Structure 1
Amino acid sequence: MKLKPKLITFDFGDTLVSSDPPYLTRIWMGLNKLGVKRKKRDVESAYHCADLFVSRKLLRESDFAPEMYQRNLGDALLDQLGVRGEREKLLKELTDFLVGFRPERVMVPGAKFLLQQLKKRGYVMGIISNNDGRTGEKCRAVGIEHYFSFILDSTLEGMCKPDPDFFGKAFKLAGVKPGDTLHIGDLWGSDILGARKAGMWAVWIENNYVKPEKLKKVFKVKRIRQALNYIE
């Protein structure tokens, strides 16, 4: 089955663009520096599981304030890692470590090829990102800003995934209906559950960290360029 959506939206971090070192590696580095010694794979798994747990919680409670997502995500991450005791200081110090880190931005393999192909085919594209207010700047750093009709950054919009209204803002900007749209992302919780709640089709760049429920209108790929298998 192949789609011809009127709008294709993307998550940003670790979907289109990564960094050197990658974001989850930086979290692992920060936790180790702060005395939380875990294997890198365990931290990666904990992050994906935490996002899924928090996304399900927020979708149940319909409380999508960005600060609520971040606070819940931090707590859930530490829960997944079995960290007990005082957390507020640890999470603040981890945030400070991450904010102070300025990694080099690098394209996810296959992402630029996908964007080029979709642009040639005339697709309208946008970004929906839970980010720090600098998504546009990060796009410019790797030379991809011109591919997108809009860039929605959670910090600038005061909204965050998995809020269906955050995805809905993209529909309004593009003048399209949810059923005519496709979202591509790597997090099953904030990306895929959020997109489906908003009525979109979705492509999940899968991993082995979470075992998601079966959902209609969701395609799974191992590499982002494989999304072309489902787009006319």
Structure 2
Amino acid sequence: MKKKVIFFDAGETLVYRNPSLLEISYRFLKREGYKISKNILSDILNNCAIKMKPLVESAKIADSKKWAIYIEMVFKKLKIKNKIVMNNLREHLKQGTSFRPFPGIKKLLFGLKRKGFKLGVISNASNSLYDILKRTGLSSFFDVIIVSEEVGCEKPDVRIFKKALNFLKIKPYEAVFIGDNFIADIIGAKKAGITPVWLQRKSKNNEFSYSGNAGKEVYKIRKVTDIIKLIKSEEWN
């Protein structure tokens, strides 16, 4: 069946943090007067992410709450009790000023638009994503941008996918969704009847993207630009 629309996740699919979460947190805490070894901070960030895994994979917690719990866990491990500093770091991260587009993304989106595809973003994110996509020069490529904070539901809830489908007036089988998170993106898209493409990028930046058993029926790619190969395959035409 010929595809008409390609939806993308945002974080770690279209954009990534540069500097990383580790570097941002290290610099922020240093400015606040906390002298912490970067190696120790790195270990704490990674260990807390691992402890968050069951909670995240249950898909029963909102993205905003997930980050609040994560940062609180990190500060507890650091033995920093100043909640003002903790909340300021969380707000700083929420603004997403360090996000950058992955190499080749703009060229890919431009090429997909020229091929006649409609493009969209479906993301578990705060409304600051609109500013992030605008600042990175990506927003103009998309026909629809659905942000969980605005619509009141998150992936893998099928409602957030249906909002995007309804906006573009297309059927689920006419759409593809590309994302890196197995539960939110792959399971969510499948439940909504959308063809999922699992981005298995080797990245150190994604704290909450965990593996899963997708099955042979799920397309897998190593980088977003690999989507071109799938488009050219007979299965998509």
* TM-score for both structures, normalised by structure 1: 0.74
Return the match for 1:107 from 101, 121, 142. Answer: 101
> Residues 230 and 72 of structure 1: is their aligned pair in 2 closer, same or farther, counting only changes over 3 Å?
same
TM-superposed CA distance for 1:217, in Å, is 3.9
2:175 is the counterpart of 1:181: yes
Rounded to whole Å, the distance in 2 between the matches of 1:221 and 1:151 is 23
Rounded to whole Å, the distance in 1 between the matches of 2:185 and 2:25 is 20
SS state at 1:100 partner: helix
2:7 is the counterpart of 1:6: no
CA deviation vs aligned residue, 1:182-203 (integer Å, no higher than 9, x gap): 1111222222222122221112
Moved more, 14-23 or 99-108: 99-108
**Is the CA contact 1:192–1:203 (under 8 Å) kept in the aligned structure 2?**
yes
SS state at 2:186 partner: helix
Greater Rg over alpha carbons, structure: 2
2:145 is the counterpart of 1:145: no
2:214 is the counterpart of 1:222: no
Equivalence for 2:235: none
> Residues 207 and 15 of structure 1: is their aligned pair in 2 closer, same or farther, counting only changes over 3 Å?
closer
2:130 is the counterpart of 1:136: yes
Return the match for 2:156 from 162, 166, 170. Answer: 162
Return the match for 1:121 from 115, 120, 123. Answer: 115
**Is the CA contact 1:164–1:198 (under 8 Å) kept in the aligned structure 2?**
yes
**Is the CA contact 1:8–1:125 (under 8 Å) kept in the aligned structure 2?**
yes
Letter of the structure 2 residue corresponding to residue 214 of structure 1: A
> Residues 53 and 16 of structure 1: is their aligned pair in 2 closer, same or farther, counting only changes over 3 Å?
same
SS state at 1:9 partner: strand
**Is the CA contact 1:188–1:212 (under 8 Å) kept in the aligned structure 2?**
yes
TM-superposed CA distance for 1:39, in Å, is 6.2
2:99 is the counterpart of 1:98: no
TM-superposed CA distance for 1:113, in Å, is 2.0
* TM-score for both structures, normalised by structure 2: 0.73
SS state at 2:125 partner: coil
SS state at 1:152 partner: strand
Rounded to whole Å, the distance in 2 between the matches of 1:71 and 1:138 is 20
CA deviation vs aligned residue, 1:12-56 (integer Å, no higher than 9, x gap): 122112232135754677799697975647745864884x64454
Rounded to whole Å, the distance in 1 between the matches of 2:198 and 2:175 is 14
TM-superposed CA distance for 1:205, in Å, is 1.7
CA deviation vs aligned residue, 1:109-160 (integer Å, no higher than 9, x gap): 2211221111110101111111220222211112221211111111111221
Letter of the structure 2 residue corresponding to residue 158 of structure 1: G
SS state at 2:13 partner: coil
Equivalence for 2:211: 211
% identical equivalent positions: 25
CA RMSD of aligned residues (A): 3.6
SS state at 2:7 partner: strand
Q: How many residues align?
A: 219
> Residues 140 and 91 of structure 1: is their aligned pair in 2 closer, same or farther, counting only changes over 3 Å?
same
TM-superposed CA distance for 1:166, in Å, is 0.6
**Is the CA contact 2:126–2:148 (under 8 Å) kept in the aligned structure 1?**
yes
**Is the CA contact 2:15–2:102 (under 8 Å) kept in the aligned structure 1?**
yes
Letter of the structure 2 residue corresponding to residue 171 of structure 1: L
> Residues 53 and 114 of structure 1: is their aligned pair in 2 closer, same or farther, counting only changes over 3 Å?
farther
Rounded to whole Å, the distance in 2 between the matches of 1:14 and 1:49 is 20
**Is the CA contact 1:107–1:142 (under 8 Å) kept in the aligned structure 2?**
yes
